[in-house]
Each structure stands twice: as structure tokens, then as C-alpha cells.
Amino acid sequence: MEMNEPVVAVFSPSVKSLYSTAVLEMLHRRGVRVGLVVIRRMFTPSRVRQELRRDGFRLVRKAYKKLILRERTSAASGPSIRNAVSEQALGEGDLRRTCRRLDVPFMVVSDLNSDPVVDALRQLEVRCVVSTGGGLLREPLLEATGLGVLNCHMGILPQYRGMDVVEWAALYDDWGGIGLTTHLMDRGVDTGPILQIHPVPIAGTSTFTALRQRLHAEMPDQIVSAACGLLDGTIIPAPQKKSDGRQFFIIEPALHELAEAKLRAAAKSRA
């Protein structure tokens, strides 16, 4: 490898993240040099407090899916991240093993914003960071990431920022507002410059579980292609105006049911 070859880092929320292992493998296959993978520990007091503030009692359901089911629900028919990983042989399901096989250094930390992570990024002089989750990032870390930190948001920006945006778009009958947006992270909530937008059709998906699985399955390719475009200059970040969109929050159960009924009807009409 040439000494001036761009180096990227990958952030992961868990050693068991299929999304993270898929992204690492796809970057490797596209010839992108990954100089470091940073994995956040699953259980720390600060992480539990942070996620409780954000997700409330939904955190219990989230933990059950991740730790007990370990994404086995994705093995159902239709597009899913598990099926994509299996079909394309994108990693072993354990990020540490994938790193060892690809000879990529990794570190496991309690906080992505910690000084050791910031120091490691600066020492590597990374061109960008590809984030597959792990929490909010603070200013010192963002400043140490070269071109920035890429995130793939499960929603169309700038219209749909924040949480449950798939459900909110359905509630408003905005079927063109469902998809993925890869953007650079900043101090706001989904307000950083946009790299690329990828609308996803709802045909064939009559539940939010199936629709989210479809979206999740397409996230690795979207964030990897955006990273490659950012590195080679073919994708130019487009700043957002805060006034162009709004931030959404957790949708109420009754509104969730109404939105899913609208999804079923819309999917049936497109079958």
C-alpha cells in the first residue's frame, strides 16, 4: 500500500453487529484501507442511562432483540441484513474475528468519545469515519475525523430527522419520504451535510418490521458507496438548512397502529 493512501475508521455499537461486519467487509472488497475499528462495549452505566433517556421502556424490547434473538427475526423471508450477510459472505457475525481475518486493528471502549479514541484517530490521520452506531459524538472527536463521520439515517433528510421517521412518513401518507440518507454527522440531530439519498419503495412490505428489515439490508451498500464517493471526490456534501425539515420523536402506540394500517393499505394498492 502506498503511504498516502486514505485511511478510514469504522465505529460499531457491538461486536455482534451484522451491519458493522458487513460494512467492514465491503470496504475491504472495494479497496478502502480501514486503519481502525472502534467497538463500543454493550453494557456500561453511562450507555444504559443514555439509551434509557433516548428510548425509555423501548430499550427493553431493543435489548431483547439484540441480545436474546440476536437478529434472528431477520431470518424471515424477504430482504434483511442477515440474509444479505449470508448471501454475500459478509463477515462471520463477530466483528473481532472479521478484524483479525482482514488484519484490521480494533479497540473496544466504553465511550467512543474517549481520549484514546480521539488520539488514535489523530495518529492515523483518518480521512473519514464510517459510523454504524454507538451513540452521539462530541466536538473533539468530530474534529479528529478528517472529512467527517458518515452516518446512514433510516429516513429521508432533511424532511424526516430524529426517531421513528419511517412510521411518521407513513402516518402522513408520504410514501416518497421513506428511504435512507447518508450524511455527515454534526452536533445536531441528523442535521449534517447530505451525501446521498436513496428512496425505498414500500411494495411487498405490509408491516414496519418487514420495511425496516428491507431498509436495514440496504444500509451497508449505501454508506460504503457514500464513503467511497466522499474519498474520491465524486460526492460533494450538500449542507442542510435546519428550516427545511423537522425533528420527530417516538411515535405514540395509537399513532403507530394507525400508521401501520395505512402502510398495509398502501402496500396492497401497489402489489
Mean pLDDT taken over the chain: 89
Question: 135 exposed, middle or buried (CB, 10 Å; 0-12, 13-18, 19+)?
Answer: middle
DSSP of 236-252: --BPPPGGG-EEE-PPP
Report the greatest alpha carbon distance in the chain.
57
Over range 215-230, report the average pLDDT. Answer: 97
What pLDDT does residue 85 have?
85
Write down all domains in the chain, each with its CATH number in brackets. 1-146 (3.40.50), 151-271 (3.40.50.12230)
Per-residue pLDDT at 55: 59
Closest CA to 259 of 202, 199, 182: 202
Nine cell digits for residue 70: 440476536
Give residue 224's pLDDT.
98
Binned at pLDDT 50, 70 and 90, residue 59 comes out as very low
Residue 238 CA to residue 99 CA, distance in Å, equals: 32
- Give 48's pLDDT tier (boundaries 50, 70, 90): low
Between 148 and 65, the higher pLDDT residue? 148
pLDDT tens digits, 71-113 = 444 445 678 898 888 888 887 779 999 999 999 999 999 999 9
